[in-house]
Chains A and B, each alone.
Chain A
Amino acid sequence: MSGFQLPRYSARFLSWLLNDSGETGLGDFQEYYGIVAEESGPSTAAWKFRLQVLAMTPGRLAEKVRQSLVMLSNYLTLAVRHFRKERLASLINVFGLSIAIACCITVFLFLNGYMNMNAEHVNGDRTYLIEQVVNRDGTEEVYGQTPIPLGPALAADLAAVEQAIRVSGVSAMVYVDDQRSEMWVTFAEPGFMEVFSFPLAAGSGNPLREADNVILSAKEAKRLFGNEPAIGQELSIVLTNGRSISATVAGVAEPFATSAGVRFSVLMNLDRIADQTYSDWTADAGATFVMLRSGVSRGDVESALQRYVGVHNAADGENPVESFRLDNLQDPNPNAWAVRNRIIDSPHPVFILMLLAIPVFMLALSCFNYINISLGAASRRLREIGVRKVVGGSRSQLVFQFLGENLFLCFLSLLLGAAISFLVLIPLFNSVMVNQIVFVATDLGPLLLFLLGLLAVVGLLSGSYPAFYVTSFQPVQVLRQRIRLGRRSWLTSSLLTAQFSLAFLTVIISLYLTLNGRYMQSQEWGYDADGVVTVRVTSDEEAAVVSGAAGQRANVVSISNSVDHLGVATGRARVRIRGEEEDTWRFAVGANYLETMGLPLAAGRGFNDDYIADAGQSVLVNEAFVRKQGWEEPLEETLRIDGTDRSVVGVVSDFLVYPMQSDLPVVFTRAAESEVRFITMRVVGVDPREVISVLRSSWKESFPERPFDALIQTEVFDANFQSYGNVVQAFSFLAGLALAIACLGLFGLASQNIAQQLKDVSIRKVLGASVASLIVIVNRRFLSMLIIAAVIATVVTIAGFTALTSLPPWEIRHLQLGPGLFAMAYALVLATAGLAVGSQARHLVRSDPSVVLRSD
């Protein structure tokens, strides 16, 4: 029989190729082998055998592909039919999956932006950020900023360095006419435009070469000028130190590929910030980039860098640097996230993991729900499966059919998920987060690949279990109705309970945030903000013009100047009290600031121009400050601020410093006239806007070129409330999602449950049970799950809230938790859950006992 030992792999391949039920083909090959083996020996036979198999392969393969295409189209037809028949279950499945997929797409795009950071910069592979390593008490710390003279020194000394450019950024007010926007302004050496690839959508050459030019990002150009051409427009940039720079737009960059990486909103020549002097090794530039010549080794440059360690440490012995290192633009060092003040933001790995956890969790949940719903729906198809098996359908065919239907649903979910992601999630994300998700054409390829992978994973994950489980039954048992689908496993119950706990928790939190927002908006400000108008000034002459113009108006009853201003600019001060230093909030104000703002005094007096000592030797504190110090007699106390001892001459009643923080200790000092930034006035009898327009025209007479910026006190917190509102909105959306997904899970389980108990229910019906009592009986177990979930969520909320509020520096102004909040959350979740179960109850009510019971 040794002649019958066929070459193993070819034989196996052959039987796959032939796929014939009678095995006559295999017999042919076996016989053929036997004949040849007898004639010319087994090795020739094996050879010829293989050749025969090979000769057959192409035709057979083509046939196989054709067959599977036919099967595929059959499966698709079945899938569409099934979708139509089980419309509700299918829609719910698609919806649940699409939410999870939308999360996946959003996170993918966000992370994709990080992964391809700086990919568009042509010189990125040879461009490096210089970082300095500092030893702080034995621990190494890395900083992203570098001494100012380092860049020019490198460019001059090292032949390997093609360009060295310094970049610094500051937050500043940018004015177009009188329209103010707070922006990040980037100052860079002209080489910036050569090292980095920022093609200009408008403008030509390198606009940075001219000191007065600015380049705007596409987004900012659109925001500032709309559809008007931005080139040639004038801007005023007012730095925090009050210095005003006027500039002309000479370039607009093409839209950025991602929001992460080397980016700018407003870009200007570094020469415009005077304090970036060239030779001071103790001062730092925001960042220094070097572009190495092609072919130069990074290690050589890195070691050449170390000679500047000595130069720096000789100049700045107090803050010695250990070493300088290079960090590639496109391939950052693994611990780039730990670098402090790094100009290009690098995400913490934990942050990325957390971000990844969200879609994975959502996907797992919705697949789990999906399985429950599909099992419920499949129970109505058991007969179909049984019949198919009886007439000779193989199990693998059935499995493929189910998987095919499932893939079809997944594909629909994918489309819907993409729509949800692009229309809802990404705009929502962008409205809350600083780092935006930008979708550009080059993302399309990776995204499609990702979606394909997602389709495969989700399709198999959600479809395999139902497909294999449902098709595993014996036809006899199915057709005799011996099979009961789904069991009351504690795993399903506890997973659903967990989902509902999460839903309760998010609903409670978002309700709390909403209520807290209302509370913050309704709180007392502690002063009379109505009719207070403030004008920003940057110089004495501007202050004089504004005060003069305001003084001539009869309805301006009080004028004051200040360096800081309530709700707009709060200063900090280091205060020494009885030998101990601490940080506090500070307002440096003019003599009658309290009076103008309508801030009442709780004790003592305000500043008074008649007391010469007020300028340097007096201070006012607020009640919170007194409480914090535990002072009995505040007016007897003295503080040391700015190196002088000052006696407390008055206590200001508590007032709202920031809407979200309470009990902030505040000191008021007299402002020096030369530093005035705000002129504040109280207007009575007329609309403050009228006074503002009068002031504007006087301003424009004296300073036609300079921006005029006035604000109305009642509106100062609008931006805070707006951004708080965004957070609340995002959280409510999350709560809605959690609730929806939990209800989907409930729906799936309920539909299974009803399928299981239909007979039981029918017998009860025959015996005269009411529909209401039946609904209660069928859904009893869900009610207990909901109650457990509510208890868990309540306990977690209270524990979390107590833990948070018992932390020592609790300054966030907040509402206390109350029973009303919980009651609202319970009602909301229960009502939604009721809706999910109720849709299933329809089956119960409609089912005809005679039909259900007849078949047994």
Chain B
Amino acid sequence: MKLLTRSEEYVLLAVWRLQDEAYSLALMHELSKATGQDWSLGSIYTPLERLGKRGLLTSYQTKPTAKRGGRPRRVYQLTAMGRKELLHTRKVENSMWSGITNLTLAGVTS
């Protein structure tokens, strides 16, 4: 199976973290906070859709609210496959990092 991209990985993690609150705006907020970068709504939608197509996420709609102009909210959830994929990614990352001890900022002028 194809490895997750970094943004996909983060989106999946954020969905897991937020659980029942995992809808696009909250995800954007969470991701911006965690990465220290601005995430636009568009940059959230793309991985969400892709992950949905790959079967790593499902979603359901909540009741419409006035705050949203009478429109529902789409809340995302990890599927079993999604969880498996996240764990796999972590394993890959761990193995990539394992044994690397001498990577320091020494000698890097910034």
Contact = CB atoms under 8 A, between A and B. Distances in A.
A52 B32 CA distance: 14
B19 interface: no
B79 interface: no
Interface stretch (A21-29, A427-435, A439-447): A21-29
Contacts of B24: 24-25, 28
17 contacts: A4-B69, A22-B72, A23-B71, A24-B71, A27-B71, A27-B72, A27-B73, A30-B67, A31-B25, A31-B68, A32-B41, A52-B40, A52-B42, A55-B40, A56-B40, A56-B43, A59-B42
Given A28-B73, A59-B46, 12 more contacts: A22-B74, A24-B71, A24-B72, A27-B69, A27-B71, A27-B72, A31-B68, A31-B73, A32-B25, A55-B40, A56-B41, A59-B45
A26 B74 CA distance: 11
A29 B24 CA distance: 10
A60 interface: yes
A51 B39 CA distance: 12
A207 interface: no
Given A4-B69, A22-B61, A34-B67, A29 B41 contact: yes
Contacts of A24: 23-24, 61, 71-74
B64 A27 contact: yes
Interface of B: 23-25, 40-43, 45-46, 61, 64, 67-69, 71-74
B23 A28 contact: yes
Nearest to A59: B46
A128 to B, nearest CB: 62
Contacts of B41: 25, 28-29, 32, 52, 55-56
A19 to B, nearest CB: 12
A35 B23 CA distance: 15
Given A30-B69, A56-B40, A25 B25 contact: no
A55 B71 contact: no
Nearest 3 A/B pairs, CB to CB: A56-B42, A27-B71, A27-B68
Nearest to A23: B71
Contacts of B61: 22, 24
Contacts of B43: 55-56
A345 to B, nearest CB: 63
Contacts of B25: 28, 31-32, 35
A22 B71 CA distance: 8
Contacts of A59: 42, 45-46
A56 B67 CA distance: 22
Contacts of A52: 40-42
Contacts of A60: 42
A32 B25 CA distance: 7
Nearest to A56: B42
Nearest to A26: B71
Nearest to A28: B24
Interface string A1-14: 00010000000000
Given A24-B61, A24-B73, A24-B74, A30 B42 contact: no
Contacts of B74: 22, 24-25, 28
B68 A30 contact: yes
B43 to A, nearest CB: 7
Interface string A174-205: 00000000000000000000000000000000
Nearest to B29: A35
A100 B42 CA distance: 50
A23 B61 CA distance: 10
Nearest to B49: A63
Interface in A11-70: 22-32, 34-35, 51-52, 55-57, 59-60
Given A31-B67, A32-B25, A56 B45 contact: yes
A26 B42 contact: no
A23 B72 contact: yes
Nearest to B70: A27
A444 B26 CA distance: 58
Nearest to A25: B45
Contacts of B67: 30-31, 34
A694 to B, nearest CB: 97
Contacts of A27: 64, 68-69, 71-73
Nearest to A35: B25
A24 B71 CA distance: 6
Contacts of A22: 61, 72, 74
A4 B70 CA distance: 11
Interface in A49-100: 51-52, 55-57, 59-60
A228 B5 CA distance: 74
Most A Cβ at <10 Å: residue of B40, B42, B64, B72: B42
B15 to A, nearest CB: 15
Contacts of A28: 23-25, 41, 68, 73-74
A278 B74 CA distance: 95
A56 B74 CA distance: 18
A28 B59 CA distance: 15
Most A Cβ at <10 Å: residue of B45, B46, B68: B68
A177 B73 CA distance: 96
A4 B67 CA distance: 8
Nearest to A22: B61
Most B Cβ at <10 Å: residue of A4, A22, A27, A34: A27
A47 to B, nearest CB: 14
A787 B41 CA distance: 71
Contacts of A34: 67
Contacts of B42: 52, 55-57, 59-60
A26 B69 contact: yes
Contacts of A26: 69, 71
Interface string A133-146: 00000000000000
A55 B68 CA distance: 21
A29 B41 CA distance: 8
A28 B24 CA distance: 7
A26 B43 CA distance: 15
Contacts of B45: 25, 56, 59
B31 to A, nearest CB: 14
Contacts of A23: 71-72
A32 B40 CA distance: 11
A40 to B, nearest CB: 15
Contacts of A51: 40
Most B Cβ at <10 Å: residue of A25, A26, A31: A31
Contacts of A25: 24, 41, 45, 74
Contacts of A4: 69
A32 B64 CA distance: 15
B30 to A, nearest CB: 14
A55 B41 CA distance: 8
Nearest to B61: A22
A845 B45 CA distance: 60
Contacts of B64: 27
A612 to B, nearest CB: 113
A24 B46 CA distance: 14
A582 to B, nearest CB: 91
A298 to B, nearest CB: 59
Nearest to B75: A24
Contacts of B72: 22-24, 27
